Amino acid sequence: MSDPTREERVLQTFVKLADTLVAGYDVVDLLQMLVDVCRDQLDADAAGILLVDNWGDLEVVASTSESSRLIEMMQVGAEAGPCVESFRTGRPVSVPDIGATPERWADFRAAATREGFASAHAIPLRLRETTIGTLNLFRVPPGELATRDVLTAQAFADVATIGILHERTLREHAIVTEQLQLALNSRIVIEQAKGVVAHRLGVSIDDAFTAIRSYARSHSQGIGEVSARLVARTLDLAHDAGVNTPAENDSHA
């Protein structure tokens, strides 16, 4: 069987990327696969990915070599370089000759030259108005990245962006669902506590809830927490509030 063509390898990569979107997957594994594919299938000698964290700071999350990792880390630290520029603008940044970069990128130029790279290409990980990082390609020879490689890398970056945002949406949904379930569980306990207090104090359900809420507020506690203690019988609202129960009132009659 003959070796697969470049087009076939690219299609195989998209299949792998799509597979990661179907079931649970590790984002770092996805991004590491992506940079490895870019190095192996595109005209790049090294690749890396910067991703923005929850605080808006860029972090190196995947790289094909220590050299590319160091170059990206340097740019993040200096807040300057094609990768940072691509993230800020949301547009690709091509550097065909690193030696001719502007002075504001002097640290990047020195680091890239020291590591043996003469050209670079940064592609934003972007979906509509949301930019979450950059895919960065580094090359030993100078020159522009071939158009077909630029288009392929952008397609890879787009799929990866969808994967990352999909994972974040699922995670946020899971958090919301968990919070919703906790709220539902808490509500069940509150209803139980209302019944306990209503029986204990001989009052209506509405008055029982008012008593629970008043106690929670006066003691700087949550209604759910107070209700749980009432249901578990570790809190006696009548005793704590100094209120006589119906049985106690009958005994005093």
- Closest CA relative to residue 42, chosen from 70, 13, 17: 13
What is the pLDDT, as a whole number, of residue 178? Answer: 60
Burial of residue 105 (number of CB atoms within 10 Å: 0-12, 13-18, 19+): buried
Collect all residues with Cβ–Cβ distance below 8 Å to 164 and sequence separation of at least 6: 27, 30, 31, 51, 125, 132
- pTM attached to this predicted model: 0.62
In whole angstroms, what is the distance from residue 194 CA to residue 207 CA?
Answer: 9
What is the pLDDT, as a whole number, of residue 216? Answer: 87
CA 77, 83, 89, 93 torsion-angle sign: positive
What is the pLDDT, as a whole number, of residue 240? Answer: 62
pLDDT in tens, the chain (253 residues): 455 666 666 666 666 666 655 555 566 667 777 888 888 888 889 998 888 877 778 888 778 888 888 888 888 888 898 998 999 998 999 999 998 988 999 999 999 999 899 999 999 888 777 788 888 999 999 999 888 888 888 888 887 777 777 666 656 555 555 655 665 577 788 888 888 898 888 888 888 888 888 888 888 888 888 888 998 888 887 766 544 444 444 443 3
